[in-house]
Amino acid sequence: MSEKKHIAILGSAGSIGTQTLDVVRGQRSHFEVEVLSTFNNADVLIRQAQEFTPNAVVIGDEKKYNYVREALSDLPVKVYAGEEALAQVVEMDDIDIVLTAMVGYSGLKPTLNAIRAGKQIALANKETLVVAGELVTRLAREKAVNIYPIDSEHSAIFQCMAGEWENPIEKIYLTASGGPFRGRDKAFLKSVRKEQALKHPNWDMGAKITIDSASLMNKGLEMIEARWLFNLQPDQIDVIVHPQSIIHSIVQFEDGSMKAQMGLPDMKLPIQYALAYPKRLKSDFPRFNFAEYPSLSFEKADTDTFRNLELAIHAMRQGGNKACILNAANEIAVEAFLKDQIGFLEMSEMIEACLEKISFIASPSYEDYVKTDTETRMLAKELLPV
Ligand code: MG
């Protein structure tokens, strides 16, 4: 009798994707890889398919289809290419849960497809909820699909909520490490380079999220993500800087009691929890040692210096397509910063200009989100220095 969960991993070549496969490698009796997909990292996809022999792989870039197919021709692995193929593959009957680990806005459509197909979601792509949280969570309710968070803060809240679903949340506190520039002022930030921003003190992650962590945009996106995941009002969500990244977030209930989840900063834990829920599987992940952390500290987030967090909070309060504008402008801004086209503080200026100029839509449809995303990207690119 097999009680294995069959998993599709979208974005398998990235940081979360590879850590998910680390988790699977350690829990072979619990998980089976059904589908692996990546946009264009063909060599990593091939290596992963050789090790895990999934039912199917999908390479996003159709030009790489033949290359992947030839490399896997000796194996019983179906090879597909392109966005349409990905939409169809997630519908496969054998899949129990779809783990979404693509970067940015590109995660929205495949996630919606997976929900439409009635698959449970393990969500690592926060931008999906930032851009279109209302639409995504409504569809998930209609399809009776659960969305299990992988983001460590949201996993923490989800873990604190176990056994508490009947009890209303009064407030949540998302913890933030503060990133590599915690305590710095604007004069310092003006001249920082990507090499400095890419050095996160506690977490080892992909480039986009590491820059977002340095600018505190990541925490702003997480506030919006939390709003939709836990059905909260904006004023029920707060951020507290906790530089050690041991307490991953806190729920405050209506009697004033607070529950927090803690552990070493290691994404494998929230990944495994999302996939194994409601079970906790025995693991050999490193254990927390109190002697190594004699004090855990907390401080207020500096939203004057880190404008991105303020912009995100404002967009969350305004609702409609504002968070979609915020996200699209931020994706262009981060890309430009990583290419040395703009400075660190100019990212906020670009996002703010887009939030002012793109038309507000109070109740956007899917098509409105697509249009908002496209228009914002065009405007943001026009704002780049030539
Ligand atoms: Mg996080």
| Pair of tokens at residue 76 | 């019983």
Residue in 51, 46, 31 with CA at minimum distance from that of residue 122: 31
Q: How far away, in angstroms, is 150 Cα from ligand 1 center?
A: 8
Q: How far away, in angstroms, is 227 Cα from ligand 1 center?
A: 14
Residue 1: band (very low, low, confident or very high) from pLDDT cuts 50, 70, 90: very low
Q: How far away, in angstroms, is 193 Cα from ligand 1 center?
A: 23
Is the pLDDT at 2 greater than 80? The verdict is no
Q: How far away, in angstroms, is 33 Cα from ligand 1 center?
A: 25
Residues 6+ apart with CB under 8 A from 129: 123, 136, 137, 224, 225, 228, 229
Task: Give the predicted TM-score (pTM) of the model.
Answer: 0.95
The mean pLDDT of 152-171, rounded to a whole number, is 97
Q: How far away, in angstroms, is 190 Cα from ligand 1 center?
A: 25
Q: How far away, in angstroms, is 176 Cα from ligand 1 center?
A: 8
Alpha helices in the chain (DSSP H): 15-26, 42-52, 65-71, 83-89, 108-116, 127-142, 152-161, 186-189, 194-197, 207-215, 217-229, 268-276, 307-318, 322-338, 344-357, 366-382
The mean pLDDT of 279-305, rounded to a whole number, is 97
Q: How far away, in angstroms, is 249 Cα from ligand 1 center?
A: 10
Q: How far, in Å, are 16, 308, 343 from residue 187 at the CA level? A: 34, 16, 12
Polymer length in residues for the chain:
386
Q: How far away, in angstroms, is 177 Cα from ligand 1 center?
A: 10
Residue 87's pLDDT is 87
Residue 205: band (very low, low, confident or very high) from pLDDT cuts 50, 70, 90: confident
Q: How far away, in angstroms, is 85 Cα from ligand 1 center?
A: 30
Q: How far away, in angstroms, is 134 Cα from ligand 1 center?
A: 20
Residue 204: band (very low, low, confident or very high) from pLDDT cuts 50, 70, 90: confident
Residue 104's pLDDT is 87
Q: How far apart are CA 233 and CA 188, in angstroms?
A: 35
Q: How far away, in angstroms, is 267 Cα from ligand 1 center?
A: 9
Cα angle 301-228-317, degrees, rounded to a multiple of 5: 55
Q: How far away, in angstroms, is 50 Cα from ligand 1 center?
A: 31
Q: How far away, in angstroms, is 209 Cα from ligand 1 center?
A: 9
Residue 11's pLDDT is 96
Q: How far apart are CA 129 and CA 226, in angstroms?
A: 9
Question: Residue 296 — left, alpha, or beta (φ > 0 → left; ψ -120 to 50 → alpha)?
Answer: beta
Q: How far away, in angstroms, is 203 Cα from ligand 1 center?
A: 9
Phi, psi of 149 (to 5 degrees): -75, 145
Q: How far away, in angstroms, is 221 Cα from ligand 1 center?
A: 9
Q: How far away, in angstroms, is 259 Cα from ligand 1 center?
A: 18
Chain-centroid distance of CA 331 in Å reads 13
Sheet holding 247-253, edge to edge: 237-241, 169-176, 247-253, 258-262
Is the pLDDT at 312 greater than 90? The verdict is yes
Q: How far away, in angstroms, is 149 Cα from ligand 1 center?
A: 10
The mean pLDDT of 345-349, rounded to a whole number, is 98
Residue 144's pLDDT is 98
Is the pLDDT at 148 greater than 80? The verdict is yes
Interval 107-120: pLDDT, tens = 899 999 999 999 99
Residue 202's pLDDT is 85
Q: Residues of the chain with pLDDT > 70: what percent? A: 99
Q: How far away, in angstroms, is 308 Cα from ligand 1 center?
A: 16
